[in-house]
Structure 1
Amino acid sequence: MTSPSDRNQEIEQRERKLREKEVELRLREMEQQMNNNDVPFLKTVKYQPEQKPWMKKVILGGKLFALGVAALIAVRVASVLAGFIIVAVLGWVSYQLFFVSRKKS
C-alpha cells in the first residue's frame, strides 16, 4: 500500500502534467490563431482633400501669374539700378577726363 503522502505527491504530479498539457494546448491554439490566413486585409487609400479639378488649375495659374509679376518687378528694379550705375560711371569718367587731367598740366 501506498502512504497518503505518496498518494498526494502522485496527485500533484498528475495535476502538474495536466496543467502543462493544458498550457501547451492553449499555446498551440493561440499559434494557430496567429497564423490564420483568413484575416481580411483592408486596402488603404491616400487621403484626398475634396477639391474640384479646376481648383488645382486655378491655384497653379495664380502661382504662375505671381511668378511673372515678381519677374517683371525684378527686371524693373534691375534696370533702374543699372541706369544709376551707368550714369555714375559716366559721370566719374567724364570728371576724370575733363577735370583731373587739366589740374595736372
Structure 2
Amino acid sequence: MAGVVAQVALAWAMAKPGVTSPLIGARTVEQLTGNLTAAPLTLDHEQMARLDEVSAPPPGFSAGLASLAIRRMYLEVAMFAAGASRGDTAISSVSGSARPAF
C-alpha cells in the first residue's frame, strides 16, 4: 500500500500549478521504480480536490512563520536586494559591492 500512496502523492504534486520537478526520496531501487511509475498517473478533478482538501494546512499555520528570526531574515534579504539593485550590498555589518571588479 505504501507504494501506491507514494505514487498518488507524486502524481498529485506533479499536477499542482507551478510544480516543475517534484523531489522523490527513494532509498531503494524498488522505491525508485515505484516513484517513477507515478509519472504517467493522472488524477481526475474530484481526486485532486479531495487531496487538496485533506492536505490543506490548518488555519493559522503560517502564523508561526512570522517569528522574529524569520522577519529579521526577510528584512535582511529585502535590504540586500534593494542594495544590490543599486550595486551596493550590506548585510549585518558586512559590506561590499555587487559589481564585479575587472
Is the shorter-chain TM-score for this pair beyond 0.5, marking a shared fold? no
The answer to which structure has the higher helix fraction is: 1
Higher RCO, 1 or 2 (CA under 8 Å, sep at least 6)?
Answer: 2
TM-score by length of 1: 0.21
The answer to which structure has the higher strand fraction is: 2
